[in-house]
A and B are shown apart, each in its own frame.
Chain A
Amino acid sequence: MTTLGVTRTTLLKDLRMEWRSKDAINSMLFFALLVVVIFSFAFNPTAEESRRIAGGLIWVAFLFAAVVALNQTWARELRNQVLDAYRVSPAPPNALFLAKAIGNFFFVVVLEALMAPLFVVFYDLRSVGPVWQLIVVALLGTWALVVNGTFFAALSIRTRSREIMLPLILFPISIPALLAMVDATTSILTGEASPDFWIKMLAVYDVVFTAVCLLLFESVLNAE
């Protein structure tokens, strides 16, 4: 039984279940939409201003929306205690983690792709710097949020106040990643600075925390 094989079947199973219920993606989309609209009339920025603040707005909106999706991830495994069935099987624990993280990454990337046009509409956003850099930042940044988010969601489902626990433990750890995402995005949008350092930092953050997650997930999964 390979990690890759189990990751693949688990991922496909999750995508199929999400396709049938659309719980996570719908609530996430609507939530992000609300945040965008509220920010838009709260700040009511001009095109020039919005370039400066959009980095922050975009990522705060995505961060909140991602938390909504992350909380759903493990809720499905807890219903009927299906997680026990995985735990008694010889399948490697990290395969489950990778499948969940990749699934969440996919959902959040889809969300970002759908929301991007809205930012253009509401904030009259045009990038001065190259768009491909924005995409690189989005992919690296999303993985940074999602890999730790998936892990911490697995922590927080074991606690008393599940839903509220996730942001409480995820946000402090994610501060450097958020800083990198916001600053890199602003640098690219305004074209005033190079985002190279931030992109490298996000890559380092991704590698380090993916390793830590894979190292510790088995202990957390079997904590009882």
Chain B
Amino acid sequence: MKFFGRFAAIRGISASFAPGRLYVVLGDNGAGKSTLLRIVAGLMEPSQGSFTLLGTTDHRKVAHRVGYMGHAPLLYDELSGMENLRYFAGLYGLDDDTVCRKAMQMVGLDPELSRRIGQYSQGMRQRLSLARAVLHDPELILLDEPFSNVDVHSAREMAAVLGRVRDEGKTLFVVTHQAALMDGVADEFVHMAAGQIVAREEAVRKAAASNAEWTPR
């Protein structure tokens, strides 16, 4: 349960999720998707109840194994892409530049770009935000609306990146309105309404399946 003043955003969710899969969380505005994600990320404490994450209830112990991409970019406008990543890598005890370069290349950004984030386009910012979330190679990645304000082409690329990350054995939760974008890569759709999980449905890996058919020809 989580109350915000007069509003209970989440109530009585009791569920467990297996690792190594890509979950897409769907639901209307105010269904409690973001709140659920923030609780899993350790940004909020549930008002009642508890949850176990990666085998512990103490979130700080597993913070380095979780990546979180927020609704907002979570980046400093006044710094360049690499400067941003370098700082956040430092928070995880990584002071190796190659980690940051790799993360930038993974999302298709040029590490040499010296422009400040403030001058980036929305799409570039979202990608860098994704790079920041996966910088420390987390096992569990939480993404809150990663495709908001991103054009369809960039969004498809990002979805493909997420699929590849899942194929490396990571667990992902993607909160989004645009279920269609995740059609090819999702493992499971989780539907939320009024603070509860109302349905969980196994996804058909259409794109992956069709790819498998096409390749031999």
Direct contact of A and B (CB under 8 A): yes
Point out residues on A near B: beta carbons under 8 Å: 1, 5-6, 9-10, 13, 16-17, 20-21, 76, 79-82, 84-91, 222, 224
Residue of A10, A76, A80 touching B73 (CB-CB under 8 A): A80
Q: Which residues of B contact A17 (CB under 8 A)?
A: 76, 78-79
Which chain B residue has the least Cβ–Cβ distance from A12?
B87
The proximity string for B residues 60-87 relative to A, scoring 1 for CB distances below 8 Å and 0 otherwise, is: 1001101110111111111100010001
Shortest beta-carbon distance from A85 to chain B in Å: 4
Contacts known (A9-B87, A13-B87, A224-B44); A89 close to B78, Cβ less than 8 A = no
- A6→B90 CA distance, assembly (Å): 7
Residue of A13, A87, A90 touching B79 (CB-CB under 8 A): A13
The answer to whether B87 and A91 touch across the interface, beta carbons within 8 angstroms, is no
Q: Which residues of B contact A87 (CB under 8 A)?
A: 42-43
- A86→B63 CA distance, assembly (Å): 11
Q: Which 3 A-B pairs have the closest CB atoms?
A: A90-B63, A89-B91, A81-B72
Shortest beta-carbon distance from B68 to chain A in Å: 4
- A224→B9 CA distance, assembly (Å): 13
Point out residues on B near A: beta carbons under 8 Å: 38, 41-45, 60, 63-64, 66-68, 70-79, 83, 87-88, 90-93, 132
Q: Which residues of B contact A88 (CB under 8 A)?
A: 41-43, 63, 66-68
Contacts known (A9-B87, A17-B78, A224-B43); A90 close to B92, Cβ less than 8 A = yes
- A5→B83 CA distance, assembly (Å): 17
The answer to whether B74 and A90 touch across the interface, beta carbons within 8 angstroms, is no
Q: Which residues of A contact B41 (CB under 8 A)?
A: 88
- A87→B71 CA distance, assembly (Å): 15
Q: Which residues of B contact A222 (CB under 8 A)?
A: 45
* 26 pairs of residues in contact across A and B, judged by CB atoms under 8 Å: A17-B76, A21-B78, A76-B78, A80-B73, A80-B74, A80-B75, A81-B70, A81-B74, A82-B74, A82-B76, A84-B68, A85-B70, A85-B91, A86-B91, A87-B42, A88-B63, A89-B64, A89-B88, A90-B63, A90-B91, A90-B92, A90-B93, A222-B45, A224-B38, A224-B44, A224-B45
Shortest beta-carbon distance from A197 to chain B in Å: 43
